Structure 1
Amino acid sequence: MPPHSKKPLVLLAAALAAPLPPRARSAMIVPLIPPPYDEQFSGDATYYGVTPDGDGNCAIRSPLPEMYDGMIPVALNDEQYADSYMCGACIEGEGSGEGEGGDPVEGAFKAYVTDRCPECLFGDLDFAADGDGRWDISWHFVPCEGSSDQTFLFEGSNEFYWKIQPRGGRSPVERLWINGDEAERSEDNFFILEGGPFDGEQEVHTKTVLNKRRRQRVAMA
């Protein structure tokens, strides 16, 4: 998996419930209809070794949101990764212990999506842990536990270009607007908008894959 090495800036903004803005710039959207949270999936579990936080395609950098404490970071198969739409999603699953190799996946597990696995088939999860083998699992997406305080990570941004990643919500953000203009999703789990100038606080709207909407005032330090 390709590493990400840029330094992040994490900001916390106060959340306010609000409807979506009336105007929006068009962006490429791959809608998840219906959201995959009611579905049970099955596939193979494999291992690709322990990796530093932020090295996966989802670029979920340290410090990690507390809701991921004790969870296994996983790479999601390419089809369900859906160009980063499910980055940060939480998973509950169970391994049967059946398969082949030296380190069976057996019993319940909790995980979160931090990367994509291009060679994996639909339903497969690749664990960012040391181990060996290919093991039968079943699993489903669940809303993440915790306070759902949404923070923002900026990368390579300036007053005319924002590359922003929402994090800490209970489900992945599907769409994001800045001052009413819709930002374009990148494959590494950011939203990009050019224009501005973005001077001081900007109004950021988000909509999650579970149709939860939020408005926040966000400034890049």
Structure 2
Amino acid sequence: MAYLEFILTYNRRSFTGFPCRTGTYYGTGTGGMCQFPPPDLPPVAKTPGMRLVALNAPQMHASLGCGMCFKVHASGKGSGANPIHGDFMVFVKDVCPECHAGSLDFAENGDGRWAVEIQAVQCPVGNTKIEYKFQGSHQYYLKLQTRNSRLPVTEVSVFQPHSKRWEHMKRSGDGFWLMGDGTWEKPIQTPIHVRLTAPNGENIEDHIPKIQNDVVIHGNGVQFSLDAHLPH
């Protein structure tokens, strides 16, 4: 519930000030808790001007913050050699365990601690669609990553074709969705019929054509709608 309340207050710029709300640097790298290693970053992460960050742990909510977008206003006030300043957008690819709520750690080489204000927004996905990636999956086990969504995915359900019901997946600590403890029909049939839920309550359904690990997979080309009541 705390996570949903956070997401649904997109239009409130709650996290301001210095030094508790800061922008820092942790260097460039291909890894990150959210497991978006280049060159397989989602299309939205490659938007011109988009910067990559680690989000503070309190707002990451385990790994539900992976793939979110934030608008940043930075005044350049602070200390160090490389000021953060201007208005721009960032994409969350990692977690900053030691950062306070409202703070960001930039995946760039730099120095200093700089005042920032952040606002969660709908990601500027344009005409691009939601993507998927499996890890360690097969006909009897699923570990699924949802990628490139306009709004965060807060729930994933998988349709069970014989019993005509939905089974919920559970969130992992590394940015994926796992088979829950329900009664799953096995072997898992493809295409996999999934239902994705956004924090504003929108549900969309898609079909994942195959189980293939460690590659980006496209479904039928679905995306959450632009919500006029939330910033973008």
Tell me the TM-score normalised to structure 1 length.
0.81
Instruction: Look up the match of 2:93.
Output: 114
The answer on 1:156 being equivalent to 2:147 is: no
The answer on 1:58 being equivalent to 2:37 is: no
Instruction: Look up the match of 1:44.
Output: 22
User: Percent of aligned positions with the same letter in both sequences?
Assistant: 33
The AA in structure 2 aligned to 1:213 is N
Instruction: Look up the match of 1:6.
Output: none
Matches within 5 A, 1:181-196: 181-193=167-179, 195=184, 196=186
CA distance in 2, matches of 1:46, 1:209: 29
CA distance in 2, matches of 1:50, 1:63: 16
Matches within 5 A, 1:22-33: 31-33=3-5
SS in 1 for 2:5: coil
Residues 148 and 170 in structure 1, CA contact (< 8 A), matched pair in contact too: no
TM superposition shift of 1:31: 4.3
Tell me the TM-score normalised to structure 2 length.
0.78
SS in 1 for 2:62: helix
TM superposition shift of 1:212: 2.6
The total of aligned residue pairs comes to 191
TM superposition shift of 1:130: 0.6
Question: Which runs of 5 or more residues in structure 2 are unaligned?
Answer: 160-165, 213-232
Q: Which 4+ runs in 1 deviate beyond 4 A?
A: none
The AA in structure 1 aligned to 2:107 is A
Instruction: Look up the match of 1:172.
Output: 152
More displaced stretch, 138-147 vs 208-217: 208-217
TM superposition shift of 1:114: 0.7
Bigger relative contact order (CA 8 A; separation at least 6)? 1
Matches within 5 A, 1:72-221: 72-145=51-124, 146-179=126-159, 180-193=166-179, 195=184, 196-218=186-208, 219-221=210-212
CA distance in 1, matches of 2:72, 2:143: 33
What is the Cα-based RMSD across aligned positions, in Å?
1.6
- Tell me the alpha carbon deviations over residues 80-131 of structure 1, each in whole angstroms, 9 at most, x when there is no partner: 0001111101111111111000000111121011111110011110000010
The AA in structure 1 aligned to 2:158 is I
Residues 43 and 128 in structure 2, CA contact (< 8 A), matched pair in contact too: no
CA distance in 1, matches of 2:64, 2:206: 21
Question: Which runs of 5 or more residues in structure 1 are unaligned?
Answer: 1-28
